[in-house]
Amino acid sequence: MIAIHWFRQDLRLHDNPALLAASDLGKVLPIYILDDTNSGTYAMGSASQQWLYHSLQALNTSLSGKLIVQKGDPEVILLQLAATYGVQAIFWNRCYEPWQINRDQRIKKTLEAHNIQVKSYNSLLLWEPWNVLKQDGHPYKVFTPYYKTGCLHTIPPREPLPNPTTLSLVDHLRNFDVESPWFSYGQLERHWNIGEQAARNRFDTFIRDGLKGYQEGRNFPSKEHVSRLSPHLHFGEISPHYIWHRLRSIQNVEWQNDINRFCSELGWREFSYYLLYHFPTLPDQNLNVKFNNFPWCQDTEALTAWKQGKTGIPIVDAGMRELVQTGYMHNRIRMIVGSFLVKNLGLHWTHGANWFWECLVDADLANNSASWQWVSGCGVDAAPYFRIFNPVTQGHRFDPEGVYTKYFVPELQKLPTKYLFSPWEAPNNILREADIKLGETYPNSIVDLKESRDRALKAFSSLHKASDKQV
């Protein structure tokens, strides 16, 4: 019997339940399809396509060059392959974006109408969204009870599955085309090692060098206490089940707080998917409808300066330049630049979400949407809108030596740390000694932090009063 395994966000051999099931059935025809037909506005961004290109190369090597890679409508492609190779079954691991769910349901009906067996499995999440509900049957809207009551007190994450012991692949003429023109090209290989083995190596390195001290160290962008596993998890190069159980197997008592914290961060990832599943408008509509009347600004120049890392606010600029140069941004910095965009500049959070979608190698619709709603104060379990990150204070606290900021904003290399995060406060002689001319070698700040903060609080206060009157 020949079975197709349709790779999606599971670009690995280890702990791949659908691939394992297909291999148990007989010969396997492995395929990846870039679906630009059904994705609509959620088509993969440029940075993600660059990562995908390298990840598929690595997967193809693991599959002895037998991976079929195509672009188009999966329903058409799968039916064509099934007819060509006499396929009797098609297996895949579930995806959870609303458009993917609708597409998969439609494809399953079509395939079954052609007498093709279809089975789907869970490889992407520790807990299926429909299995974690409150006692009244409704979904959780706050993370802590979702994670501590809903997740940790329900069925524990399953043990990871082994690689297929025998993987007999179908011979075919449709070889993986490394020159396929629908991939964007970049220099990600300068900053990342990509693929299943690279993901496992990255996790090993994190356990050895970064896990101890993670609970506090994860907030400092120049330290090694971040796993950088998010793109590997998004593309399924490593399994969350493998990560969870390996961490839980560590017996070092001194590391337990760090392990618990990391596992709770995995829980946040789960919560984002949970929200997207139960509230499918998450990517473009405020979950807190009160914010539908918020007086957002329209300022294309400010938005462009933010995107380019030329706001004149050093730690914001450092983060935005890290994003463009590496396809990644440290989580603490993501919160800072997000708060700055929506609260100091007053721009709608979807502008930020769209730019991150284009530039992040770990661009994930669930995490991206939930995180932007969180920092904007309009999500179901969000930071209060009046919590406004002060980028100067944040810089001094989390980049105290200026290592991170000076790396990505080298024109401020000579500026003393005292003035690094607020160069407009530096005396003229200090600026001269540092070879800095504000407005020339480094931008003047595009916004006054105190005034913009007061303006944001005023806008929020008026919105709050208006909602009270409606009640």
Same domain flag for 91 and 222: no
Residue 175 falls inside a structural domain? no
Q: Do 95 and 143 fall within a single domain?
A: no
**Taking Cα atoms as reference points, which of 80, 295, 65, 44 lies closest to residue 177?**
65
Q: Which of 10-24, 227-241, 303-317, 368-382 has the lowest mean pLDDT?
A: 368-382
- Residue 29 and residue 113 in one domain: yes
| Residue 184 within a domain | no
Q: Which residue has the tokens 């909602």?
A: 467
Question: Which tokens sit at 5?
Answer: 């395994």
Contact partners, residue 94, CB within 8 Å, separation at least 6 = 104, 120, 121, 122, 123, 124
DSSP string, 88-123: -EEEEE---SHHHHHHHHHHHHHHHHTT-EEEEE--
Cα-Cα-Cα-Cα dihedral sign, residues 190, 196, 199, 201: negative
Percentage of the chain modeled with pLDDT above 90:
89
242 lies in the same domain as 301 = no
SS3 of residue 263 by DSSP: helix
Q: Residue 455: which H helix or E strand, with range?
A: helix 449-470
Over residues 421-457, the pLDDT tens digits come to 999 999 999 999 999 999 999 999 999 999 999 999 9
Say if residue 125's pLDDT is above 60: yes
Instruction: Give all strands of the β-sheet with 68-71 in edge-to-edge order.
Output: 68-71, 27-34, 2-7, 89-93, 117-121
Q: Which two tokens stand for residue 380?
A: 């179901």
Of 95, 123, 151, the residue that ends a domain is 123
Q: How far is CA 188 from CA 11, 52, 54, in A?
A: 18, 11, 9
Catalytic residue among 182, 296, 358, 390: 296
Considering 244, 255, 306, 372, which one is annotated as catalytic?
A: 372
Residue 164 lies in a domain: no
Q: Is there a single domain that holds both residue 71 and residue 12?
A: yes
Q: Is residue 369 part of a domain?
A: yes
- Judge if 429 and 384 occupy the same domain: yes
Whether 296 is catalytic is: yes
For residues 404 and 448, membership in a common domain is answered with: yes
Residue 467 has a pLDDT of 53
Domain end marker among 101, 123, 145: 123
Burial class of residue 88 in the structure, from the number of CB atoms within 10 Å of its CB (0-12 exposed, 13-18 middle, 19+ buried) = middle
Residues 44 and 95 in one domain: yes
Q: Exactly one of 260, 265, 354, 390 is catalytic; name it.
A: 265
- Residue 314 covered by a domain: yes
- Greater pLDDT, 226 or 180: 226
Tell me how many domains the chain contains: 3
Same domain, yes or no: 37 and 140: no
Q: Which of 128, 182, 268, 354 is catalytic?
A: 268
pLDDT (0 to 100) of residue 471:
39
Contact in structure between 91 and 223 (CB atoms under 8 Å): no
Containing 29, the helix (H) or strand (E) segment is strand 27-34
Nearest to 274 by CA among 123, 120, 150: 150
Q: What is the CATH number of the domain that holds 421?
A: 1.10.579.10
Q: Is residue 424 part of a domain?
A: yes
268 is catalytic: yes
Q: What is the mean pLDDT of the chain?
A: 94
**Is the pLDDT assigned to residue 328 strictly greater than 90?**
yes
Range of the domain at 381: 289-470
Pairing of strands 68-71, 27-34: parallel
Same domain membership, residue 333 and residue 296 = yes
Catalytic residue, from 6, 349, 357, 374: name it.
349
Q: Is 349 a catalytic residue?
A: yes
User: Is residue 116 domain-shared with residue 154, that is, in the same domain?
Assistant: no
Which residue has tokens 């994705």?
39
